[in-house]
Amino acid sequence: MSDGLIASMAQALRDPAQPCPAGLRESCPADPAQRFAIYRNNVQSSLIDALADTFPVCRALVGADFFIGLARAHLQACPPRSPVLMEYGAEFADFIAGYPPAASLPYLADMARLERAYVMSAHAADSVPLTSRQLQDLLSRADLLHDARFQLDPALALVRSDYAVASLWGAHQEDDVTAALAGVRPGQPETALLVRSDLVVAITAVPQSSGELIQHLIDGASLGSAASIFQARHPDFDLASALGLLIAYQSIIHVQLPGAN
Amino acid sequence: MASEYGTQTAMPLPAGLSGALPARAGLGLKPEHLRSMLQHRPDISFFEVHAENFMVEGGPLLHFLHRLRDDYPLSVHGVGLSIGGMAPPDADHLTRLAGLLERFQPASFSEHLAWSTHNGVFFNDLLPLVYDPVSLARVCAHIDQIQERLGRRLLLENPATYVAYAGSSLDEADFIGQVIRRTGCGLLLDVNNLHVTCRNHQRDPLAYLRALPLHAVGEIHLAGCAEHTTADGGALLIDSHDRAVAEDVWGLYCTALTLTGPQPTLIERDANLPPLEEQLAEAQTADRMLCACLTA
């Protein structure tokens, strides 16, 4: 009998429309339904809070009340599957994209993508960047660079958006958010680059071409093939500045040269 | 199934790999306060963190926990194993937990007599279980698996509950006693949970306390609880961890110490955090009671 009870309790915890499960002991003070409501409320509010912890800018953009409704709907559709709540919210951006009440804020889904990437970046594995000496040696071997494949810091991530998500995010880190937002054009497409340096994640807008190159390097393309794609598509493409970004952020942790393992 | 675990008494397992927690007061620590704790370096005997808050690959959380671990004994407290759940503990979660314990070598690891996951969905609450022979066998099997996988003894925390099941045929303290006898795990005596549960189910806290397997206590938890009035006018206590430890709980703690001897004692605070000085003052109160218990 205990097995059925846990199952019916689990169902009633997830769905507020369900009645209090049968099998609870009648007691005073307070009847079983009132007592059960405490658990239901704990479950709902603690998981909504967990989502708010991961998506503070999304919450600020829509306001606390709207966020609660959104988070509750998301909880119903995508409950957490792991007790590690930092991981909760992987589906939140896609959920927002299909959530009609949020349609008036078209950049909300991308902001969720960015905030989720921020948390993943903060907790990504530690790595040791190549030293400037190693980088110098590498750059001096122009003959080999074309076929070189880069391994980048696991904490590095890119979020490309049709909206100014990096600038909007940055404005929300300022003391005077309203004033900072006044200087942002939300309709400006941006590629946000996330890097972790000294244990702190920074988000900056980078040129789209640089972002695309870095993405191809992350995906395992050789430097030469990644560069040639972009030189065709972006006449103003500057390989040196794109690589310079990775060097400046100390994001290159390994370079595999042709013939080497 | 019950007979499989029925009479066997488990081999003693090592409590921790780097000594025991000191029988003094410690503080619960949330990840966002690690850095300020490292700056203040308060005079406190140990820290306790939630295992699931540190199940990450790298970055600041692990960095600062390593630094804290260099200077203070550490206790790791799990909230996600769902020991009372129907399914065995999740293998991936156990692997991550084992990695965390391997990395930080805490003096103690504890978990809850509760369920929090069902059919793969995590509820983020410590939900009560039915106390009957089927449930007892299942809890014992889960604890056996966990202790075997981790290679260490866990302390099991008595729950704070708001509902009880009509189908429970065993008394909670008796259930806990049997789990501890069969699995060889220890008891994390949460005095606030005991206070909350006894008040909510109109039980005598001293009788409940004496019925627990106090010889197995390895740590004590103290926390604040909130009075909650339900829509039908009932008054319940909520295990809220959002205020100072109640007078009644301090009283029960003193009594408990006379029965258990001095124990590592954690002040838990998870919400509405006061200035550090207030938390340290509560820890000092616990330390005074521990000293009095030593000299009594």
Residues A123 and B133: their CA atoms lie apart, in Å, by: 42
What are the tens digits of pLDDT across the range A135-188?
A: 888 888 878 888 999 999 999 999 999 999 999 999 999 999 999 999 999 999
Between CA A73 and CA A91 the distance in angstroms is 12
- H/E element, B171: none
Number of Cβ within a 10 Å radius of residue A72: 16
Q: Which residues of B touch A27 (CB under 8 A)?
A: 164, 201-202
Domains held by chain A: number: 2
Are A74 and A181 in the same domain? Answer: no
Q: What is the ipTM of this complex?
A: 0.93
Those residues of chain B that have pLDDT short of 50 are 1-13, 16-18
Cα angle A13, A61, A171; round to 5:
135
Q: A 37-76 residues with CB below 8 A of B?
A: 37-39, 42-43, 46-47, 50
d(CA B253, CA B191): 6
Query: Is residue A119 a part of any domain in this protein?
Result: no
Among B62, B119, B231, the residue with its CB nearest the CB of A10 is: B119
Q: Does residue A136 share a domain with residue A196? A: yes
Tokens describing residue A62: 């829509």
Confirm whether A146 is domain-assigned: yes
Tell me the mean pLDDT in the region A35-42. 94
Of all residues in chain A, the one with the smallest CA distance to B167 is A23
pLDDT for B18: 47
CATH number where A167 lies: 3.90.930
Check whether A252 has a pLDDT greater than 80.
yes
Which residue among A25, A43, A154 places its CB closest to the CB of B125? A43
Rounded alpha-carbon distances, angstroms, from residue A249 to A169, A202, B42, B58, B203: 20, 10, 36, 18, 62
**In this predicted structure, what is the pLDDT of residue A261?**
52
Name the residue of chain B whose CA is nearest to A30's CA: B234
* Shortest CA distance from A77: residue in chain B: B121
Is B116 close to A46, i.e. CB distance below 8 A? no
Q: Is the same domain home to A88 and A131?
A: no
A217 and A96 in one domain? no
Note whether B199 contacts A: Cβ–Cβ < 8 A: no
Query: In 3-state terms, chain A is what percent helix, strand and coil (to 5)?
Result: 55, 10, 35
Tell me: do A93 and A173 sit in the same domain.
Answer: no
Instruction: Inform me whether the C-beta atom of residue A123 falls under 8 Å from chain B C-beta atoms.
Output: yes
Q: How far is A229 from chain B (nearest CA, A)?
A: 34
Residues A128 and A100 in one domain: no
Is A4 part of any domain?
yes
What pLDDT, on the 0 to 100 scale, is given for residue B6? Answer: 37
Of A71, A105, A139, the position where a domain reaches its end is A105
Distance from CA of A243 to the nearest CA of B (A): 24
Same domain as A174, residue A73: no
Chain B residues in contact with A37 by the CB 8 A cut-off are: 230
Which of A84, A127, A197 would best serve as a mutation to test chain B binding (most B beta carbons within 10 A)? A84
Given the DSSP bridges, would you call strands B186-190 and B217-222 parallel, antiparallel or unpaired? Answer: parallel
Residue A1 reports pLDDT greater than 70:
no
Domain membership of residue A110 (yes or no) is no
Question: Within an 8 Å CB–CB cutoff, is residue A154 touching chain B?
Answer: yes
Q: Do B163 and A35 touch (CB under 8 A)?
A: yes
Domain of residue A61 covers 1-105
pLDDT digits (tens, 9 = 90+) for A63-119: 999 999 999 999 999 999 999 999 999 999 999 999 999 999 999 999 999 999 999
Query: What residues 61-100 of chain B have any CB closer than 8 A to a CB of chain A?
Result: 61-63, 79-82, 85-86, 93, 96
Verify that A131 and A247 share a domain, yes or no: yes
Helix (H) or strand (E) run with residue B85 in it: none
Cross-chain Cβ contact B85/A200 below 8 Å:
no
Q: Give yes or no for a contact between B52 and A83, defined as CB atoms under 8 angstroms apart.
A: yes
Residue A134 and residue A98 share a domain: no
Cross-chain residue pair A39–B127, CB shorter than 8 Å:
yes
Q: How many Cβ pairs within 8 Å bridge chains A and B?
A: 153
Q: Is residue A114 part of a domain?
A: no
Q: Which residues neighbour A59 within 8 Å (Cβ) at sequence distance 6 or greater?
A: A52, A67
CB proximity A24 to B under 8 Å: yes
Residue contact B231–A13, C-beta within 8 A: no
Q: pLDDT tens digit string along A235-247?
A: 777 778 888 889 9
Chain segment B101-132, per-residue pLDDT in tens: 999 999 999 999 999 999 999 999 999 999 99
Are A5 and B125 in contact (CB < 8 Å)?
Answer: no
Residue A229 and residue A128 share a domain: yes
Pairing mode, strands B265-267 and B217-222? parallel
Evaluate whether residue A137 is within a structural domain. Answer: yes
Q: How much is the pLDDT for A5?
A: 86
According to the CATH classification, is domain B2-295 in 3.20.20.150? yes
What is the DSSP secondary structure assignment for residue B11, as one 8-state letter? P
The pLDDT, as a whole number, for residue B186 is 98
Query: Do A141 and A37 fall into the same domain?
Result: no
Instruction: Specify if A89 maps to a domain.
Output: yes
